[in-house]
Amino acid sequence: MQQIQQRLDHIFKRPELLEQALTHRSFSSRNNERFEFVGDAILNYTVAKMLFETFTELPEGRLSRMRANLVNQDTLAAIAVSLNVGDALFLGPGELKSGGFNRPSILADAMEAVFAAISFDADFN
């Protein structure tokens, strides 16, 4: 867990949050799905706010398309790969056998969950 925290540049006060964010439903019923829900909202808000403040003259439709191009499975999976998140995932036997630690959907979902875990750990409101 220490290595992934260093790669994320966030040392958790409550490491159990990171553990849950990295736990796939195939491993445990205490998994990252609810964190993923929050992380998706945090990411969409953060990117929308950044685009809104950066591109002050663009209409809403263009901003929405830009956000969609930035916040998607491919981008999130690429971020997860760059941080070696797959190596830290807790996966059930079937997902391990089928290479779930490299599956873009699992990596993207884990990244969203990690964003939520960081937010919870840092007491962001």
Taking only the tens place, the pLDDT of each residue in 57-110 is: 999 999 999 999 999 999 999 999 999 999 999 999 999 999 999 999 999 999
Q: How many domains does the chain have?
A: 1
Give the tokens for residue 80. 């997860």
- 112 catalytic residue (yes or no): yes
Q: Catalytic residue among 19, 36, 109, 112, which? A: 112
96: domain CATH number is: 1.10.1520.10
What is the overall mean pLDDT for the chain?
A: 96
Asked if residue 125 has pLDDT above 60, the reply is no
User: Rounded CA gap, 8 and 83, in Å?
Assistant: 7
Q: From 91, 79, 109, select the one nearest 9 (Cα to Cα).
A: 79
In this prediction, residue 107 carries a pLDDT of 98
Q: Catalytic residue among 40, 95, 109, 121, which? A: 40
Most distant CA pair in the chain: distance in Å?
51
For residue 1, the 8-state DSSP code is -
In this prediction, residue 15 carries a pLDDT of 97
Asked if residue 13 has pLDDT above 70, the reply is yes
In this prediction, residue 92 carries a pLDDT of 98
Q: What is the domain range of residue 1?
A: 1-122
Question: CB-hemisphere CA count at 13 Å for 68?
Answer: 6
